[in-house]
A and B are shown apart, each in its own frame.
Chain A
Amino acid sequence: MRTLIRYILLTISITVLFPRKVAEACGFWVYPGEYRFWLMQPDITNEPDLTPFYFATSYLYKGNQYAGEQPQLEQNINEWYENVNHKALRDDIDSLLNATPPEEFFSEQESLSKQNSLMRYLLQPKQKELYQYLLLSKKVEQIAANPDPWDEQNSPKQSIDNIISDLKKLRGTTANSFIKLRTAFQLMRLYNYNAQSKEAERIYDAWVAPVNTKSWVKTAALYQIALNYAGAQGNYLRSKVFDIGGYNRTMCLVRFDSKSTDEALKLARNQHERNVLAAMKLFNSPGRGLDVIKQIYVSEPRYKELPFLLLREINKVEDWLLTNRITSFQTPAVYGEGYHWYNYDYLDNAKINYRNDQAYAQELSSFLHIMIANSMGQQKAVLHLYAAHIDMLNKDYLSSAVHLKEASLQGHLPQNIKTQIVINRYLLSLENGFNKNDENEFMAIIKTPDQKLAIYDPGIMKNQLILYTARKLINKGSKARGLLLLSKTNRAFGQLPIRAYKTVYQEIEETANEEDFLIMLKIFDKKNKSLFERFVCEKKIHSPMDNYGWYEDSTALKWDRNKLLNCLASWYLRQHRLKDAHSILKKIPAGFFKQYPYNQYIGGNPFYLNVYRAHTVTNEDKQSLNQAQVVEQMLHLEALAKKDESKTAECYYQSGNAWYNMSYYGKNWLMVKQWWSINEPETWTAILKKNAFNDDYYGCQYAKWYYEKAIKASNDKKLTALCFFMAKRCEANYQYYIKLVRGQEDVRHDYSPDYTLAKKKGIDRDYYKLIVEECETYQSFIRKYNKGF
């Protein structure tokens, strides 16, 4: 029992004491990779073996340390191909070495000898040693796959010792340098599995280090030595492997211990080695790295990783300057050093951070200009491209255009650079608007088959480009086309408190006005659509859910003209334009309102309101109206209020109820807003803004206006007291929302009665007191005025 009490207290204290923003981090969470914004390909320097380090973040790109290419596989095939004097097919070499598991190799010798040219070659009597080597290497492969099958963690193991003995025998008898080097490497691996690292080093020193070869095996052997060292020594050895290249460079970076960099630098024997170590540290840093790059550049201007390091800086700047401008996420995806995935502290200094990031982008541009002046050859094209991109981010479009032209003038450009030039040319043009020509350029990129673009993530690039273009159109006055285009990106551009990604419908709700709606509808209805229009009107609405295999297409969002009409009707309601809303709702078939979510979140009697159970439809409601019927009845009440003075006050009271029911607190909130959360608006204060809609929605101001009109028109003391009570209630909701907007802490609804004001306004104190204090009386009052007109 005591444990239970302790647990309850702990839970309560965590809930109460945890900062609100940390609490938000639980549950639905958008992975930074889903909204990080970039338009410069992360692979432009063509280093596919470093894919996990494509972006500077506190996590690996693709979340997978094995996402990069393994160049040693291809090199190994080539070395074997040469060694067998081209007597076996490359594909067969690949198949036997890389796609034949040891079990299959040992059990399927006969069929392999029939199917595989390498196997046939090896089975010739003259190739006995090479065959013996392959046999033993397959055994090593088996050990590597499961070094300790009984999970005993003891060594040395007999099974490993046996292979060591056979490998040594083979090495002792063969004169083939190809076999000698490889047996030494396999011996090193086995000694490592047997926890005999000193033996592995001895083999390296004696049989590998002295060999003059360009084979990947020598680098791989050095990597085996590095595996046994942590800290500075490990870093130093890994830096050697990283620098040689061709083998496990990603893992060299993954295993790099940044904290030990200074110690490792002491082991470096020259400036180049120091530069490699500094670069490896920078590869592991999500923060600003230009100072380190400059230092490397000063001492070694041609250091081969400089272009990639610079590219990562550009990608960082894109994230810092664009992510929270292009999406509604408030912070960059990754900011600063360390594991700041949530970037909680970014917002404390958002403006200063942004200014500093702009300054950093300028600094990066200046440095690139210096590098360009001293560069040559293909590096020049890349650097011009970088400068074009960063200058565009810095809004120096003239300089950007000049560099882009320079980049395109360089000879022998790889396809991925050509693709980026096309993209940047389009982006520059987009700054001047989205004319027919831009539209064509944009569609040409989008419709180019992924393979032809020759970039690592063509799908993401296209989706980023769609998002960017859509945002530009929205911001530059072509909102309708921008919003339609937004439906075609599967990048996350916002999240909702209801544990979901923001979709284009919510963006439309937040952004579109009457004109935009009408243009959108016109485009939908157009008979001869342009390629762009056909594209944006395609039925499927894309979202990050596209990337989740379990998410069924049948449940995915689709363009629905009725839904769009409904959004327009909601917009009219938010503007208090009942007649316009009604004329639109009339165009929607009744069946539309019978489907989810309208059938669940709109209903009951909109003119009946029990303020203590405002979200619930009860038997007291006596009727249930859909969205079109609600508006029709509201119009009827308006007309009646004007026509029949005896009913004016009651009509206004019921209208007040209808508008209250369309607020955050009521049962028909869906008529004006697409989502609702129990924690709203408290949890989302950061995005809560004071505006006319929120005044009505969170502050119930329009409902209050009607209650006050009812008070003025009423001769009925009971009704006046009830309307005063409701107006006061609306005011309390308004004050609560305003305090949240101002960022006040510990805000509570103040529903306490105000007898002084009541007296001043001539409200019957007794009735008011009864309504406030007696639940039964309140209910009898609301029942009394729940009648149809």
Chain B
Amino acid sequence: MDNSRKFCVLFLITFFFFSCSQKHPKNITRAYYFWRMSDITSKEKIFLKQHGIEKLYVHLMDIDWNAVQGAIPVTSNEHLLTNNVLKAFDSFPKELVPVIFITNKTFERIDSFDIPLLAMRAVRRCLPAYDEMDRDYEDRHSFPFRKGAIRPKEIQFDCDWTNKTKGKYFSFLNEVNRLVPADVQISATVRLHQFKYPAKTGVPPVDRGMLMVYNISDPKQYGNHNSIFESSKAEAYFNSVETYPLPLDIVLPAWSWCIVYRNKQFYQVENGLTEEDLKNASFLKSTGSHYYSVIKDTVYHDLFLRPGDEIKSESIDEKDLREATAISKKAVNSNSFTISIFELSEKEFQQYSHENIDKVYSSYH
């Protein structure tokens, strides 16, 4: 081999090597979760447009276990309505992903024999005119009149499965996979402990996982922690070297809530309150660390409060959101993925600047 031929071979090898190892540009889909069971507001519609949100995960229903009737829907929404509201707004197209939350109790109690029926019922609610029974349902609920049901490209299930329930939950997901057409993706939420210990907790048999970078600790526990997110605690979940064996999308926290404790025991969660509301309430006294003590009997936001009750405000500020974004990058395991924020609400997104919301999405590139 002469020098020139050697050079050519070396060049080709080098070229081939670099072309293989070169980073592909990342394809990121901007998404938000719309969890509230009421209409989307004008400000929320404008927000979606301003931030170029392409995908909206819409809370479709909660399924819980009923001692008499088994697995039944306890709350439900119509993503068709959300779709029509968005279309009517300015024909701004959004990909809507129906999300079904299923309680762990459901899979603790359900008979394996009934899982295919539950899967069928869930699929009927997600896909348009799935079968005769579904067509009847949609007729009764005036779907054709409202320009027909939406055919989603993705369906998502949200369940905090445990070792005890993973068998039935995964079998449910397998059944769903069997029932839906190949062009509809199935995704499932993955909590941080499930992400860290895939071998122990199992990996859901779905097309994609949605990693929830929040719910860092138990909100029922009385203390000074922020159960939504704390970077020091979150980091511990991301120190594994192994790549999660399922392509992941990521959902970041951007919400707040208040937790009521009675005698230092968990009493209730109230989503509609902010710390600002607590500061302005005459029946409350700030006791520090985001805690407020009730000083007289009050009915507030449908809460029956007694003197001595404590309300803790938990929220995510811009710094928390930035940290969650940074930490979560370690979980990215594909070039094409969705970054989502929980949750779409006027009250919540006004806590963050538009620039910082945009930075969340752009920082993954």
Which residues of A line the B interface, CB within 8 A?
A: 102-103, 106-107, 139, 142-143, 146, 149-154, 159, 163
Chain B residue at minimum C-beta to C-beta distance from A154: B133
Most central of A150, A154, A163 by chain B CB within 10 Å? A150
B67 adjacent to A103 (CB under 8 Å): yes
Chain B positions within 8 Å of A152 at CB level: 121, 133, 137
User: Distance in Å from the Cβ of B128 to the closest Cβ of chain A?
Assistant: 16
**5 A-B contact pairs sorted by A residue (CB < 8 Å):** A142-B69, A151-B137, A152-B121, A152-B137, A159-B69
Residue B142 at the chain A interface, CB threshold 8 Å: no
A149 adjacent to B67 (CB under 8 Å): no
B137 adjacent to A149 (CB under 8 Å): no
Residue B358 at the chain A interface, CB threshold 8 Å: no
Chain A residue at minimum C-beta to C-beta distance from B125: A150
B136 adjacent to A149 (CB under 8 Å): no
Chain A residue at minimum C-beta to C-beta distance from B120: A150
Chain B positions within 8 Å of A153 at CB level: 136, 140
Residue B219 at the chain A interface, CB threshold 8 Å: no
Give bound CA distance, A103 to B68, whole Å: 9
Give bound CA distance, A106 to B72, whole Å: 16
User: Distance in Å from the Cβ of B149 to the closest Cβ of chain A?
Assistant: 14
Given A142-B68, A149-B69, 16 further pairs, Cβ under 8 A = A102-B67, A102-B68, A103-B67, A106-B67, A106-B68, A107-B67, A139-B67, A142-B66, A142-B69, A146-B72, A149-B66, A149-B72, A151-B137, A152-B133, A159-B68, A159-B69
Give bound CA distance, A414 to B136, whole Å: 56
Chain B residue at minimum C-beta to C-beta distance from A153: B136
Residue B73 at the chain A interface, CB threshold 8 Å: yes
A163 adjacent to B133 (CB under 8 Å): no
Residue B202 at the chain A interface, CB threshold 8 Å: no
- A-B contacts counted at CB < 8 A amount to 36
B68 adjacent to A150 (CB under 8 Å): no
User: Distance in Å from the Cβ of B330 to the closest Cβ of chain A?
Assistant: 41
User: Distance in Å from the Cβ of B140 to the closest Cβ of chain A?
Assistant: 7
B121 adjacent to A151 (CB under 8 Å): no
Give bound CA distance, A154 to B134, whole Å: 12
- Also in contact, A103 and B133, with CB within 8 A (given A150-B72, A150-B73, A151-B140): no
- Also in contact, A103 and B66, with CB within 8 A (given A151-B140, A152-B137): yes
A163 adjacent to B68 (CB under 8 Å): yes
Chain A positions within 8 Å of B133 at CB level: 152, 154
Residue B70 at the chain A interface, CB threshold 8 Å: yes
User: Distance in Å from the Cβ of A388 to the closest Cβ of chain B?
Assistant: 47
User: Distance in Å from the Cβ of A17 to the closest Cβ of chain B?
Assistant: 29
Chain A positions within 8 Å of B69 at CB level: 142-143, 146, 149, 159
User: Distance in Å from the Cβ of B142 to the closest Cβ of chain A?
Assistant: 13
A142 adjacent to B67 (CB under 8 Å): yes
The A-contacting residues of B in range 30-78, CB under 8 angstroms, are 66-70, 72-73
Chain B positions within 8 Å of A150 at CB level: 72-73, 121
Give bound CA distance, A146 to B73, whole Å: 11
User: Distance in Å from the Cβ of A49 to the closest Cβ of chain B?
Assistant: 30
Closest 4 CB pairs of A and B: A149-B72, A142-B68, A106-B67, A139-B68
User: Distance in Å from the Cβ of A142 to the closest Cβ of chain B?
Assistant: 4
Chain B residue at minimum C-beta to C-beta distance from A140: B68
User: Distance in Å from the Cβ of A261 to the closest Cβ of chain B?
Assistant: 33
Considering only CB atoms and an 8 Å cut-off, how many residues of chain B contact the other chain? 12
Give bound CA distance, A152 to B121, whole Å: 9
Give bound CA distance, A159 to B110, whole Å: 13
User: Distance in Å from the Cβ of A356 to the closest Cβ of chain B?
Assistant: 47
Chain B positions within 8 Å of A159 at CB level: 68-70
Give bound CA distance, A102 to B133, whole Å: 29
Chain A positions within 8 Å of B66 at CB level: 103, 142, 149
User: Distance in Å from the Cβ of B308 to the closest Cβ of chain A?
Assistant: 23
User: Distance in Å from the Cβ of A697 to the closest Cβ of chain B?
Assistant: 45
User: Distance in Å from the Cβ of B282 to the closest Cβ of chain A?
Assistant: 18
Give bound CA distance, A426 to B76, whole Å: 58
User: Distance in Å from the Cβ of A396 to the closest Cβ of chain B?
Assistant: 54
User: Distance in Å from the Cβ of A474 to the closest Cβ of chain B?
Assistant: 43
Chain A positions within 8 Å of B70 at CB level: 159
Give bound CA distance, A106 to B70, whole Å: 13
The A-contacting residues of B in range 54-110, CB under 8 angstroms, are 66-70, 72-73
Chain B positions within 8 Å of A143 at CB level: 68-69
Give bound CA distance, A107 to B121, whole Å: 26
User: Distance in Å from the Cβ of A624 to the closest Cβ of chain B?
Assistant: 39
Contact with A along B131-174 (1 / 0, CB 8 A): 00100110010000000000000000000000000000000000
Give bound CA distance, A102 to B121, whole Å: 24
Chain B residue at minimum C-beta to C-beta distance from A151: B137
Chain B residue at minimum C-beta to C-beta distance from A107: B67
User: Distance in Å from the Cβ of A462 to the closest Cβ of chain B?
Assistant: 29
Give bound CA distance, A149 to B70, whole Å: 10
User: Distance in Å from the Cβ of A150 to the closest Cβ of chain B?
Assistant: 5
Contact with A along B105-121 (1 / 0, CB 8 A): 00000000000000001
Give bound CA distance, A142 to B67, whole Å: 9
User: Distance in Å from the Cβ of A451 to the closest Cβ of chain B?
Assistant: 25
Chain A positions within 8 Å of B73 at CB level: 149-150
User: Distance in Å from the Cβ of B62 to the closest Cβ of chain A?
Assistant: 12
Give bound CA distance, A263 to B94, whole Å: 58
Give bound CA distance, A262 to B68, whole Å: 44
Most central of B67, B68, B140 by chain A CB within 10 Å? B68
User: Distance in Å from the Cβ of A755 to the closest Cβ of chain B?
Assistant: 59
Give bound CA distance, A139 to B67, whole Å: 8
Give bound CA distance, A367 to B334, whole Å: 91
Give bound CA distance, A486 to B294, whole Å: 44
Give bound CA distance, A153 to B140, whole Å: 10
Give bound CA distance, A142 to B70, whole Å: 11
Give bound CA distance, A153 to B137, whole Å: 8
Chain A positions within 8 Å of B137 at CB level: 151-152
User: Distance in Å from the Cβ of A781 to the closest Cβ of chain B?
Assistant: 51
Give bound CA distance, A150 to B121, whole Å: 8
Chain B residue at minimum C-beta to C-beta distance from A102: B68
User: Distance in Å from the Cβ of B131 to the closest Cβ of chain A?
Assistant: 11
Chain B positions within 8 Å of A149 at CB level: 66, 69, 72-73
Chain A positions within 8 Å of B68 at CB level: 102, 106, 139, 142-143, 159, 163
User: Distance in Å from the Cβ of B118 to the closest Cβ of chain A?
Assistant: 10
Chain B residue at minimum C-beta to C-beta distance from A149: B72
Chain B positions within 8 Å of A142 at CB level: 66-69
User: Distance in Å from the Cβ of B71 to the closest Cβ of chain A?
Assistant: 9
Give bound CA distance, A139 to B70, whole Å: 12
Give bound CA distance, A151 to B133, whole Å: 10
Chain B positions within 8 Å of A163 at CB level: 68
User: Distance in Å from the Cβ of B276 to the closest Cβ of chain A?
Assistant: 24
Give bound CA distance, A98 to B72, whole Å: 24
User: Distance in Å from the Cβ of B359 to the closest Cβ of chain A?
Assistant: 43
Most central of B67, B121, B140 by chain A CB within 10 Å? B67
User: Distance in Å from the Cβ of A195 to the closest Cβ of chain B?
Assistant: 15
User: Distance in Å from the Cβ of A735 to the closest Cβ of chain B?
Assistant: 50
User: Distance in Å from the Cβ of A30 to the closest Cβ of chain B?
Assistant: 31
Chain B positions within 8 Å of A106 at CB level: 67-68
Chain A positions within 8 Å of B67 at CB level: 102-103, 106-107, 139, 142
User: Distance in Å from the Cβ of B110 to the closest Cβ of chain A?
Assistant: 13
Chain B residue at minimum C-beta to C-beta distance from A150: B121
User: Distance in Å from the Cβ of B126 to the closest Cβ of chain A?
Assistant: 13
Give bound CA distance, A143 to B67, whole Å: 11
Chain B positions within 8 Å of A102 at CB level: 67-68
Most central of A102, A149, A152, A154 by chain B CB within 10 Å? A149
Give bound CA distance, A159 to B136, whole Å: 22
Chain A residue at minimum C-beta to C-beta distance from B133: A152
Chain B residue at minimum C-beta to C-beta distance from A141: B68
User: Distance in Å from the Cβ of B349 to the closest Cβ of chain A?
Assistant: 29
Give bound CA distance, A102 to B69, whole Å: 11
User: Distance in Å from the Cβ of B108 to the closest Cβ of chain A?
Assistant: 14
Give bound CA distance, A154 to B132, whole Å: 12
Give bound CA distance, A149 to B71, whole Å: 9
Chain B positions within 8 Å of A146 at CB level: 69, 72
Give bound CA distance, A346 to B72, whole Å: 54
